Amino acid sequence: MEAVNRAFWRGKRVLVTGHTGFKGGWAAIWLDALGAEVTGLALAPDQDPSLFALAGVERLCRSRIADLRDPAAVAAALDGQSFDLVLHMAAQPIVRASVADPIATFATNIMGTAHLLQALRGQSGLKAVLTVTSDKVYANAETGRAFTEADPLGGKDPYSASKAACEIVTQSFARSYFEPAGVPLSTARGGNVIGGGDFSRDRIVADIVRAARAGEAVVLRHPEATRPWQHVLDCLAGYFRQLEVLATDPANAPRAVNFGPKPGGAEVTVGELASLGVEALGGKPWRHEPDPNSLEARSLAIDAGLARRALGFESRLAAPAAVALTMDWYRRQGAGEDALALCREQIEGYEAGR
C-alpha cells in the first residue's frame, strides 16, 4: 500500500492546529507537497530555532496565530473559512512543563480542544476531524504490557491526565454534536515521535542535539527507560490514513487508534538513543543524573494492531532506522543544508519506500 493517497489529499482544505510546532510543521510541509490547501492555527513558536522559521512553514499555508485558550480568538481566526478536514495537534506537550504549570497545561490541552471543537460546530462542509492525544493517556501500572485502545485511561502527571481528559472531551463532542451531524470525530494516540526539526525544551532528541552542538554532555534522568519511538513521517502517515478512512468509510473507522513503531522492531532505551545521537553528531558521552521526584513512566509501549487491521496502516521504520533518519537531518542541517529541502527529501524518500 502506498504511504499516502495523493489523489485523496489533492485540493482538500485542511486545518492543522499546532503548525508552528515540530509535528505540525512537518504536517504542513507534507500536506503542501500533496497539493492540499493548508490553514494553520497555533501560537507563535516558543523556541529558537524552530522548524517553523527554518523551513519557512508560514509561506506554505495560511498561518493564523491565535491562543486556543481564548475562545473568541479561535472563533475569529476561523471566521469565514471552511474546511474539509481538521488535524488538531496544538498542545502543551512537555511532561516537566506540565508539572511546573499544571493549570496552563489543562487550559491548553483540555479547554483549548473544547474551544476548537465548539468553533468547528458551525462548519457545514466538514468531512472528518482528528484530535491527536498521546500514548500517555493510559493508566500505567508499569507492567511493560503494550496498551490497547480498550485499556482504561489515566495519567499520574498533569500532561498525561490532560490528554486523557482530552479523549473524553472529544468523545463527548462527537456523540453530542459531530456524529449526529454526519461528521466523524476521532482521536489518535501516537507514540514518542522523533524527527528532524524538534528544538523543544525538555525533549530528549532536542536535548541531545543542543548538547552535541555545544560540545557538552547531555544529561539523562532515566537512561534505562523504554519508549515507543516513532519517526514523525510514520506518525503523520498514520494520521493522514485515519482521516482518509474517517472521511470515506466512517461506518468502519475506529474512533480511537494507537500509532506506534514498526511491530517486531528492536527496543531502544533513552540511553541507547542518546548514544546513537552522540555517535552521529559528535559531542561528549551522555551523563546520568537521576531525578527522584520525576513522575515520568519507566516503561511505555502501545499496541498498534488496530491501525493495521482497521486502517491497513503499519509504520515502516523500526526504531533504529527512525533514529538514524532523525540524526541525519540534524547533522546535515547543522552543516548548513536547507531545512525545508531536507524535510522534502525525507518525505519523498518515505513515500518512495527508501
Q: What is the 3-state secondary structure (H, E, C) of the chain?
A: CCCCCHHHHCCCEEEEECCCCHHHHHHHHHHHHCCCEEEEEECCCCCCCCHHHHCCHHHHCEEEECCCCCHHHHHHHHCCCCCCEEEECCCCCCHHHHHHCHHHHHHHHHHHHHHHHHHHCCCCCCCEEEEECCHHHECCCCCCCCECCCCCECCCCHHHHHHHHHHHHHHHHHHHHHCCCCCCEEEEEECEEECCCCCCCCCHHHHHHHHHHHCCCCEECCCCCECCEEEHHHHHHHHHHHHHHHHHCHHHCCCEEEECCCCCCCCCEHHHHHHHHHHHHCCCCCEECCCCCCCCCCECCECCHHHHHHHCCCCCCCHHHHHHHHHHHHHHHHCCCCHHHHHHHHHHHHHCCC
Compute the distance between CA of residue 68 and CA of residue 70 in angstroms, rounded to an integer.
5
Q: What is the DSSP pairing of strand 229-231 with strand 128-132?
A: unpaired
The pLDDT of residue 221 is 85
Instruction: Pull the grid cell for residue 122.
Output: 458551525
Radius of gyration of the chain (CA): 19
User: How far is the first Cα of the chain from the last one, in angstroms, to the nearest whole number?
Assistant: 14
**What's residue 75's pLDDT?**
95
Would you say how long the chain is, in residues? 354
What is residue 354's predicted lDDT score, i.e. its pLDDT? 75
Residue 230 near residue 322, CB atoms below 8 Å: yes
State pLDDT tens for residues 295-346: 555 566 789 999 999 999 999 998 888 989 999 999 999 999 999 999 999 9
Assess contact for 301 and 295: CB atoms under 8 A. no
Q: pLDDT of 222-261, one tens digit each?
A: 888 877 789 999 999 999 999 999 999 999 999 999 998 8
Report the alpha-carbon distance of residue 112 to residue 73 in Å, rounded. Answer: 11
In sign, the C-alpha dihedral spanning 200, 133, 274, 345 is negative
- Name the pTM for this structure: 0.94
- pLDDT of the chain along its 354 residues, tens only? 678 999 999 999 999 999 999 999 999 999 999 999 999 999 999 888 999 999 999 999 999 999 999 999 999 999 989 999 999 999 998 888 999 999 999 999 999 999 999 999 988 899 999 999 999 999 987 777 889 999 999 998 999 999 999 999 999 999 999 999 999 999 999 878 999 999 988 888 999 999 999 999 999 988 888 777 899 999 999 999 999 999 999 999 999 999 988 766 557 788 988 898 888 888 789 999 877 666 555 566 789 999 999 999 999 998 888 989 999 999 999 999 999 999 999 999 999 987
In order of 30, 33, 35, 36, 40, the CA distances from 10 in angstroms are 12, 9, 4, 5, 17
Q: Kindly list the domain boundaries of the chain, sorted by start residue.
A: 6-351
Name the β-bridge partners of 186.
130
| Cell reading at 119 | 468553533
Q: Rounded to whole angstroms, how far apart are CA atoms 264 and 271?
A: 20
State whether CATH 3.40.50.1390 applies to domain 6-351.
Answer: no
Which residue reads 499520574 in cell numbers? 156
Mention every residue, 6+ apart, whose C-beta is less than 8 A from residue 331: 280, 281
